[in-house]
Amino acid sequence: MSGSPSLSASILAIPATQEGQITLAIRASLLSTLVEDIRPLLLSGASSAFVAAVALLRLHTLWSALWLVGDALLLAARLGIVC
Q: pLDDT of 6-65, one tens digit each?
A: 666 666 666 666 666 666 777 777 777 666 778 888 888 889 999 999 999 999 999 999
CA distance 80 to 38: 11
Give CB contacts under 8 A, 24+ apart, made by 6-12. Answer: 7/81, 8/35
CA distance 46 to 67: 13
Written as one letter, the residue type at 35 is V
The CA-atom distances, in angstroms, between 27 and each of 13, 63, 66, 81 are 10, 38, 35, 17
